[in-house]
Structure 1
Amino acid sequence: MRFKIAILFLLLTSQLIAKEIFVSPSGNDRGNGTQANPFASFSRALAEVKKFAGKETVTVWFQEGSYYLDQTMVLGSEHSGTSTNPVIFSALPGANVTIKGSQRLENLDWREHKDGIWVTAVPGGLAFDQLFINNDRQVRARFPNYDYENPQRGGKGYQQVTGGTDRRYDSWFSYDLQQFSTNTWNNPETGIVHAFQSHNWGNMQYRIKEVDREEHKVYLGEGGFQLQRSYGIGGKEDKASWFFIDNIFEELDVPGEWYLDTKANLLYYYPSPSLTLTEATFEVPVLKDLIQLKGSKESPVKHIQLKGFNFTQSTYTFMENYEPVARGDWAIHRGGAVFMEGAENCLVADCSFEYLGGNGVFMSNYNRDNKVQACKFVHTGESAVCFVGSPSAVRFYQTWDDSEIDGKDWNTMRENMDLEPGPKTPDYPKNCTVENSIMHDFGDVGKQVAGVYISMSHKINVAHNTIYNCPRAGICINDGTWGGHIIEHNDIWETVRETGEHGPFNSWGRERQWKGSRGTDEHFIKEYTKLDAIDPVILRNNRIANYRKSISAGNWTIDLDDGSSYFEIYNNLNLGSTIKLRDGMARKVYNNITVSAVPLGWHVWPKESEDEIYKNIFVISGAVPGKESPTDNFIRPVALPTETKWSTHYNNNLYWNINHPEDFLMTENKNWESWQQEGYDLNSVVADPGFVDPLNGNYQVSEESPALKLGFKNFPMDKFGHQMTRMVPFGGEFSEKVTVQLLADDRGGQGAKIYYTRDGSEPTINSLQYTDAIQLQNTTAIKARTFDSKGTPIGFTNEAKFQKVEEVVYPSWFQTLINGKYEGNKSKTPSPAVELEVNGALLVNIADDPDLIDATGGYNYGCYIKMLNKEKAKMWLKAKLDKDWVIQQVNNNKVERISDLQEYLKRFAGQTVQIIAVRDYKSKVFEVQFP
């Protein structure tokens, strides 16, 4: 008994013993670190922590101000805490503490250069890739000039190439002489090309080797490693790669631009008339990673917390080392403002990550039970949060670069491969979490990015995050190793803004079971699937939406791409697009709602895939952007098996086609009766689901809804996204008036209050206090923040703009839904995909059909064989050229469109020709006898 009392006493006293260390911008590293005599630097505090870490709770308090790091802060196992005595680095409550990976440029002697440009000397050897003036990132001299109104691909800040090698690694591309810069570039080798891949899956950077003005070509040097796949810079006309070039001195021609002459150590800047150079603060990034928590699996760094910091101003990473990541499309740089490797039970909370050159938080290789919580990520150069294991942990590891760049044969590599299940080593993130965070407007430089990226990891939890305004995915799972992830209560919209053939949620599963992309026994080895996908991935209670009027039909809300297997998908609200399941095994899709003009995308399933589709509400509404005709079919299958049923559990679903309530189709050629005769949806119904209030975001169904009788269950509509200070609705357009509700941060506690402003200023306890819903009748920008009962701010300021317009134009799917009928598509209408029968083969210009591009392996030119008439198509069938192949060459002549093929039929009439066709990442030569 005495022993127990003694142990209890020791436990209690250990909680009471706590070491506090204080840091202040006005402190002194020769001080003692007390509140009265604080240290001045992070590094000095870090040295002090080692004396007490693991022995007692240590809290390092940072007073308000900016802290410049002259080197990356590396926290090792010697800084570790324990579960009862953690080591905490924290801003003082309410203090605005900024950690900068930059240094200030002091005592600058500006002198006028010419044409509005000023110049000053900077310290020798200081090579920087960004310039911040008064905390605002400036634009490095570039062509075309930065488009502030539309900085995205397609804006005035980009041009399109007229040709290129279109193969990584690219050696050149050509430009339009009439549009390209006429300035003479004396040192073009300083320039960096930022170009989108021709297939538009991401972008790359290259150093310029030289510019040939006579040939209208830019020759390229180092670069192109920032993503995978063979496609590079190229394409023609509207399919051509978009690009800009920066770091060219002669392009310094508008206010806000700068250029660093590293040889002469001179900084050139074109100030705006309102800026006084001698009064401005100039800062330049010098560090890639700001803080590293770095241990090993044998000696991990443990129980360290980073709380309340603003991380900013790190260097770009796009010309650093990148590595291809499995057979996802990605390559990554292992780095981040906070980089974690060999870490356990560590926490990053209430931190903002803004204007960083690379990733926000990166967990690399061995990590366990770490958490990112209540953070904000804005204007990061690449992704917000990444979890990436080591290839050494994967029993059989292949990349696209193995095949497409290094020329290795995937099948040869598979010989004698390890067939043991699960990971080989523990060098990967497991049981880690990112929750209650905000991620928007990231991917400033890299475009193959995500709010949350997961690769070679196990049991990652992604919950209650709000993700929007990004160039590619909101959440991306790169591979099927090793599953067990839970993706829940996230709110994702306005994604895939600068790329294509993707979804707000995207996954790949190209592991040991995946030999190709057809789902056939030849390409997909079912019994291997669970060797890597050892636990199912759960997607539940997410709202994933496409609200844009011009969005691509290939932009799926939930995009399970090549090989993605063992997913359980339920209680998800899909708006504006829908779910795609490509070749994979055992996907359970139930109790979801989809409202969209885009039909369900069931592509190349294996025979007996074990997929299950039940108790869902599927609503077709409006027209696909770019099409005048409203959608009539619920499913668009591509190359699904015909000799077996698609699924043995496809039932109890509710269908409602607002466009065609009675004369709809289930697939492109089956009506409801034919569909049921094949054994599907025998207990399903066609009826209006009876949504409660979709105009205000409530897609629950009424008590009388027939969906409930089928087993569908309502799920909450007010728990999507972060639970910090929130606005309902979150900005947008209105015509007469709009009612705005503000919701307090859940952590505010009893007595919490919300203060807000309507003039763009930051809210304080002296601002307007929120007591009741706000009525707006004019364009207004609202900023709101929660304060606890002591007046201490909690979380981040939430801000949104409400724009008054004469008429709100909704996307076709939403307008049709609220009208209850289709009344036309107000979005831009390009030409529909051309279909034409040629010698018994029904062909489609694949470039005009995003679904087909996506389903066949990403081929964006050629003639897709949609159907073959057995009587008329003998010449194709004799050559064994079957449907779903894409014809791209005839006798080494490129086939862009059906008209090209028709021309070659005439040119080579009566001859046996060689046709190159592609399908599922493979090409094949067929010998065809032309009539």
Structure 2
Amino acid sequence: MNLIYTFSHVRRQIAWAAGCLCCCLQLNGQVIYVSTRGNDKWNGSEKKPVASLVRAQELARAYGRDTSVEIVFEDGIYYLPGTVQFTGQDSKDYPATVTLRARHEGKAVISGGQQIRLDWKQEAGNIYVASVPAGMDIDQLYVAGLRQPMARFPNAQPGKQRNVYDTWVLDHQAQPNPEMDPLQPERIALWKNPEGGYVHAMHTALWGDMHWEIKGKNEDGTLQLEGGWQNNRPSGMHPLYRFVENIKEELDVPGEWYYDRSESKLYYMPLPEIDLDEAKVEIVRLKHLIEFNGTKESPVRGIHLQGLTFKHTARTFMENKEQLLRSDWTMYRGGAIVFNGAEECSVENCEFDHLGGNTIFVNNYNRYLTVRGCYIHHSGANGIVFVGDPDMVRSPLFRYGNQNYETMDMTPGPLGDNYPQDCWVDDCLITMTGRDEKQTAPVQISMSQRIRVSHCSIYDVPRAGININEGTFGGHIIEFCDVFNTVLETGDHGSFNSWGRDRFWTPDVVTISDQVALHPDMQYWDVLEPNVLRYNRWRCDHGWDVDLDDGSSFYRIYCNLLLNGGLKMREGYDRVATNNIILNNSLHPHVWVRNSDDVFKHNIVFTAYQPAVMNSALGESDRWGKELDYNLFATGQAAMRKFAAHGADAHSVSADPLFVNPGQGDFRVRPESPAFKIGFRNFDMTDFGVKSEKLKKLARTPDIPEIVLQIQDEVSAEYTWLGAVLKEVKGEELSAYGAKFSQASMALDRVPAESEAYKLGLRSGDLLLSFGGKEISTAASFKQLLEEYAGKSGELLVMRNQKEMVVKLAAFRGEMQPVER
């Protein structure tokens, strides 16, 4: 399978490259010119250019399908009156193409906005007001070319260290602050008419965000809200990380504005350097700029966008409603550019600047699309999105929860081909996405097949840099990417994140193992080809560098440099991680299934493996994968031998890897390195991220950590209680239990079936949250509660399979004793 897959993939890349070459040559073609000083009654020649893209499109259609056409945009800004739509009528037959390009790269701007001329009048203080045409929607305001923030509370705070909603430094243990709470009754009482405002709030577990439109006030002074559907594992509002905007009474900072739609009035507090009499004022109207609307039978083919700048699209957070397959995500199917039923089209060397929603959306059936050399920054939602049709998925489930194995369709593979396939994102710089929506990523892939992401630099984003939503339908390649400064506003995630909540998966690891034992190829029914992560550099300071979460299966991970957060593998099958370098960290095996066939070998790691919930009712002997061996531990013997009892690391070594120049980021090993003895091979340390010179000049690179050799192993203290073994858990390990990082507690590591704890209803993997309503956070706090309840009955709140449940304990006695090592 791998050889066939590799050959077919290379063959497609050659075809794409050939298509791009033909696009550049434009043999036997026609040229149509567009200028802001043109006239749509003219013929489109260089001396008589047309004025609009739509007119140029009409002229291009007049040429035969075998004639290549270039549409050349002179410098200037082109405000679109509506979304431009390409259909099968615009297609060309190979090798003919239609190319829309800027005469001077980046100087022709395609805008979904509108310039308006206003008669400003000064009100109290430094607030100005102007009337606008009735019924106008104003989602964003630009003054003198700069995007201005809506009036809000709390206000945005300047400074690079402030992350969440541009106001707070991310702190997983932060407590509510009434002075910063926009929903305090005293605050709401200040607002005369908040209708038309918005409430934005993070998820209580920081898994994303949610949004509500304010419809008015209730009689008791609370707000009437509509929304909150933007997260597929919803929660209430985060008690701290929330703010309101478009409230007139909160217009108190230079640069802010407020729009009263009912009165058609725009209020603005200008920045000191702004001269309102001279400043250009622009508003944003359109959600989509260009759509490719074809079908499999009549695709949009051979259309290329080159060297253009795209600006001014409306935010879409209130339309982000569609649930994706059992992930944490919802999705709005739209963007500045939307591909729907396109083949052999491309977007090259374009800039996408401060767009309100998704940037590029590849929707359902699309083939052989290329996005190359693009600079995407300050997008409101995702960067480049690939999402297929859920009707192609057999037995699809949309919310996190249990699978029904009795009614499941057990036929492997998809039901059809209405999904993106064989598309390529290459040499793109993507940064500062997710400005308005936090459950987003610079590259998001769902219900797609064989998406290749190469040489991308991705950083400064609220959640993952690259996210694969589920296993359907696999075959993706992520290579030569540089991904860092991620998970800046969220938690429990990684620079790379994936889920694998496919048909085989359910929240209980015992059930998964039993079902796959009954159907040995079940884990491959949806993920048809392996996903490959190779030759990338990852760094995440608020999670894992690479996070293979819930069921992620059939991965090949090799020749990656992980700078900080390590590699997490939660329950799944057939993950092979070889020849990676994991600095100051290690492998995090979480909740592995029985007979997973996982392999972790020929890697350089710095600490002992960091397992979570690996000892459960499944037992230990078959929980530790197919092979964990032949690794180099840049630490003491204790770390290397820590899990020898599970058959790990019989042939591994503990030694200094002898890096070439770690201070400068060169983590190749010297010829005399002991790493070669365990099968490690050097790989290039200079080929991460964007490759074009123009993007290299713009792109940042991650901080290189100072490596720590011979660090001491951190061994969690263990205790016995009622025949069970429990330990303290905190930080990222809490992810395995479905708890927040701030929710430190005690966990039952092993509960033998013959133990008193088992008879009382406790199970391996239970996280103990509270006893008798009193929080359990440390061994000391739990010991104190045991003494208080000795001989009594009580309710023990636990987290089991990522859900809270109550275990009622009948009268019992039992002290907690430390395990001697």
Provide Cα deviations, 1:858-880, integer angstroms capped at 9, x if missing partner.
Answer: 45647442346879x95522213
Quote the residue 2:464 is aligned against.
473
1:576-595 paired onto structure 2 within 5 Å: 576-595=564-583
CA contact (8 A) 1:162 1:175 kept: no
Q: Which residue of 200, 204, 210 corresponds with 1:204?
A: 210
Q: Secondary structure at the match of 2:309?
A: strand
Q: Secondary structure at the match of 1:683?
A: coil
Give the superposition deviation at 1:246: 0.4
Quote the residue 1:300 is aligned against.
299
Do residues 639 (structure 1) and 614 (structure 2) align? Answer: yes
CA contact (8 A) 1:519 1:583 kept: no
Do residues 568 (structure 1) and 559 (structure 2) align? Answer: no
Do residues 96 (structure 1) and 107 (structure 2) align? Answer: yes
Do residues 881 (structure 1) and 762 (structure 2) align? Answer: yes
What is the distance in 2 between the residues matched to 1:565 and 1:246?
A: 42
Counterpart residue identity of residue 665, structure 1: A
What is the distance in 2 between the residues matched to 1:502 and 1:906?
A: 38
Do residues 330 (structure 1) and 334 (structure 2) align? Answer: no
1:361-372 paired onto structure 2 within 5 Å: 361-372=360-371
Do residues 649 (structure 1) and 531 (structure 2) align? Answer: no
What is the distance in 2 between the residues matched to 1:219 and 1:229?
A: 23
With normalisation by structure 1, the TM-score equals: 0.78
Q: Secondary structure at the match of 1:278?
A: coil
Q: Which residue of 544, 551, 575 corresponds with 1:556?
A: 544
Distance 1:71 1:53, change over 3 A: farther
Give the superposition deviation at 1:648: 3.4
Quote the residue 1:5 is aligned against.
none
What is the distance in 1 between the residues matched to 2:440 and 2:234?
A: 18
Q: Which residue of 919, 926, 929 corresponds with 2:800?
A: 919
CA contact (8 A) 2:105 2:308 kept: no
Give the superposition deviation at 1:914: 4.5
Do residues 516 (structure 1) and 507 (structure 2) align? Answer: yes
Provide Cα deviations, 1:455-493, integer angstroms capped at 9, x if missing partner.
Answer: 000000011000011011010000000110111000111
Give the superposition deviation at 1:834: 10
Quote the residue 1:421 is aligned against.
412
Distance 1:836 1:103, change over 3 A: farther
CA contact (8 A) 1:339 1:361 kept: yes
What is the distance in 2 between the residues matched to 1:581 and 1:285?
A: 43
What is the distance in 1 between the residues matched to 2:677 and 2:701?
A: 41
Provide Cα deviations, 1:784-840, integer angstroms capped at 9, x if missing partner.
Answer: x5xxxxxxxxx68526699xxxxxxx88xx3344xx566999xxxxxx999887666
Q: Which residue of 603, 606, 609 corresponds with 2:596?
A: 609
Distance 1:137 1:797, change over 3 A: farther
Quote the residue 1:184 is aligned against.
190
Q: Secondary structure at the match of 2:733?
A: helix
Counterpart residue identity of residue 815, structure 1: E
Q: Which residue of 117, 120, 127 corresponds with 1:117?
A: 127
Gaps in structure 2 of 5+ consecutive residues: 1-21, 813-821
CA contact (8 A) 1:594 1:617 kept: yes
With normalisation by structure 2, the TM-score equals: 0.88
What is the distance in 2 between the residues matched to 1:511 and 1:287?
A: 36
Gaps in structure 1 of 5+ consecutive residues: 1-10, 165-172, 235-239, 404-409, 621-632, 726-784, 786-794, 803-809, 826-831
Counterpart residue identity of residue 584, structure 1: G
What is the distance in 2 between the residues matched to 1:905 and 1:654?
A: 43
Give the superposition deviation at 1:220: 5.0
Counterpart residue identity of residue 305, structure 2: L
Counterpart residue identity of residue 568, structure 1: R
CA contact (8 A) 1:468 1:495 kept: yes
What is the distance in 1 between the residues matched to 2:165 and 2:621?
A: 45
Give the superposition deviation at 1:910: 4.3
Distance 1:302 1:395, change over 3 A: same
CA contact (8 A) 1:198 1:233 kept: yes
Quote the residue 1:397 is aligned against.
396
Quote the residue 2:18 is aligned against.
none
Do residues 233 (structure 1) and 115 (structure 2) align? Answer: no
Q: Which residue of 639, 644, 647 corresponds with 1:665?
A: 639
CA contact (8 A) 2:465 2:496 kept: yes
Quote the residue 2:524 is aligned against.
530
Do residues 129 (structure 1) and 139 (structure 2) align? Answer: yes
Q: Secondary structure at the match of 1:855?
A: helix
Provide Cα deviations, 1:174-205, integer angstroms capped at 9, x if missing partner.
Answer: 86859x74871011232211100000011111
Do residues 692 (structure 1) and 660 (structure 2) align? Answer: yes
Provide Cα deviations, 1:738-797, integer angstroms capped at 9, x if missing partner.
Answer: xxxxxxxxxxxxxxxxxxxxxxxxxxxxxxxxxxxxxxxxxxxxxxx5xxxxxxxxx685
Mean alpha-carbon deviation: is it higher for 639-648 or for 429-438?
639-648
CA contact (8 A) 1:161 1:175 kept: no
Do residues 714 (structure 1) and 692 (structure 2) align? Answer: no
What is the distance in 2 between the residues matched to 1:439 and 1:654?
A: 34
Q: Secondary structure at the match of 2:522?
A: helix
Distance 1:908 1:207, change over 3 A: farther
Give the superposition deviation at 1:911: 4.5
Give the superposition deviation at 1:561: 0.5
1:166-565 paired onto structure 2 within 5 Å: 181=187, 184-209=190-215, 218-219=222-223, 221-234=225-238, 240-400=239-399, 410-412=402-404, 414-518=405-509, 521=512, 525=516, 526-546=520-540, 551-552=541-542, 555-565=543-553
CA contact (8 A) 1:862 1:895 kept: no
Provide Cα deviations, 1:261-304, integer angstroms capped at 9, x if missing partner.
Answer: 10111111001222110110111110001110111122111111
Counterpart residue identity of residue 539, structure 1: L
Q: Secondary structure at the match of 2:698?
A: strand
Q: Which residue of 594, 600, 604 corresponds with 2:587?
A: 600
Give the superposition deviation at 1:509: 0.4
User: RMSD in angstroms over aligned alpha carbons?
Assistant: 3.2
Q: Which residue of 691, 706, 710 corresponds with 1:815?
A: 706
CA contact (8 A) 2:572 2:592 kept: yes
CA contact (8 A) 1:875 1:930 kept: no
Distance 1:840 1:680, change over 3 A: closer
Distance 1:425 1:505, change over 3 A: same
Q: Secondary structure at the match of 2:210?
A: strand
Q: Secondary structure at the match of 1:254?
A: coil
What is the distance in 2 between the residues matched to 1:91 and 1:53?
A: 23
Count of aligned pairs: 776
Give the superposition deviation at 1:639: 1.7
Give the superposition deviation at 1:231: 2.2
Quote the residue 2:747 is aligned against.
865
Distance 1:833 1:49, change over 3 A: farther
Q: Secondary structure at the match of 2:562?
A: strand
What is the distance in 2 between the residues matched to 1:452 and 1:428?
A: 16
Provide Cα deviations, 1:4-47, integer angstroms capped at 9, x if missing partner.
Answer: xxxxxxx9xx9742111110011001111111100101111112
Q: Secondary structure at the match of 2:319?
A: coil
What is the distance in 2 between the residues matched to 1:688 and 1:208?
A: 59
Mean alpha-carbon deviation: is it higher for 75-84 or for 218-227?
218-227
What is the distance in 2 between the residues matched to 1:158 and 1:111?
A: 38
Q: Percent identity?
A: 35
CA contact (8 A) 1:194 1:205 kept: yes
Counterpart residue identity of residue 856, structure 1: Y
What is the distance in 1 between the residues matched to 2:479 and 2:701?
A: 27
Give the superposition deviation at 1:645: 5.8
Give the superposition deviation at 1:227: 1.6
